[in-house]
């Protein structure tokens, strides 16, 4: 899908404020409301906009611990990947899971109310999962940047390739 500068501006504005009215969005990108809505729907239908959501502040809702956890699995256990994938789906503390390169198999992002809650999660769930060999935790001391927004220049590069 070829994007022009107006599409990029729409994507940028919607990433910053998914609740912006179509009228306000149209004014900011210098389009009529109907033309703007047509473009937004096209971006949604193409899958470029996958969904809209509210972003909660973890500290305000009482989640003091943010951890990145590397998990290494035993490869001699049958269906280790399938079992682990199924297990993480039921753990509300896990807010992100990634298959990674390097020594570990997975990188988890875990949120917990406090260190006691985090420790309980690690000892009672993670370590007890069949096939888990090693766990390496990194507790976040301070967040310098945490964004899911994608910069327009990266959108332009990926949409033209």
How is 100-142 classified by DSSP, letter by letter? Answer: -SSS-SEEEEEEESSHHHHHHHIIIIITTSTTEEEEEEEE-S-
Q: In what order do the strands lie in the sheet with 94-99?
A: 94-99, 106-112, 65-73, 132-139
pLDDT given for residue 159 in this prediction: 59
Using DSSP's 3-state secondary structure scheme, residue 11 falls into helix
Lowest mean pLDDT among 103-117, 119-133, 146-160: 146-160
Q: What is the reported pLDDT for 158?
A: 58
Helix axes 5-16, 152-160, angle to 10 degrees: 130
Q: What is the pLDDT of residues 63-118, one digit of tens each?
A: 999 999 999 999 999 999 999 999 999 999 999 999 999 999 999 999 999 999 99
Q: State yes or no: pLDDT of 144 exceeds 70.
A: yes
The band of 139, judged by pLDDT with boundaries at 50, 70 and 90, is very high
Structure tokens at 139: 């507790």
pLDDT, tens digit, for every residue of 35-51? 999 999 999 999 999 99
* SS3 state at 96: strand
10 Å CB burial of residue 155 (0-12, 13-18, 19+) is middle
pLDDT on residue 1: 76
């Amino acid at each position: 899908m070829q994007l022009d500068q107006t599409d990029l501006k729409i994507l940028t504005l919607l990433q910053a404020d998914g609740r912006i009215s179509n009228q306000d969005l149209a004014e900011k990108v210098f389009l009529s409301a109907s033309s703007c809505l047509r473009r937004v729907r096209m971006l949604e239908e193409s899958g470029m906009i996958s969904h809209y959501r509210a972003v909660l502040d973890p500290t305000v809702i009482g989640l003091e611990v943010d951890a990145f956890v590397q998990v290494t699995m035993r490869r001699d256990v049958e269906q280790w990947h399938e079992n682990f994938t199924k297990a993480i789906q039921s753990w509300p503390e896990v807010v992100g899971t990634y298959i990674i390169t390097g020594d570990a198999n997975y990188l988890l992002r875990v949120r917990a109310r406090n260190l006691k809650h985090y420790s309980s999660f690690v000892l009672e769930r993670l370590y007890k999962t069949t096939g888990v060999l090693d766990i390496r935790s990194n507790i976040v001391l301070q967040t310098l940047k945490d964004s899911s927004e994608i910069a327009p220049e990266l959108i332009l590069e990926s949409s033209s390739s």
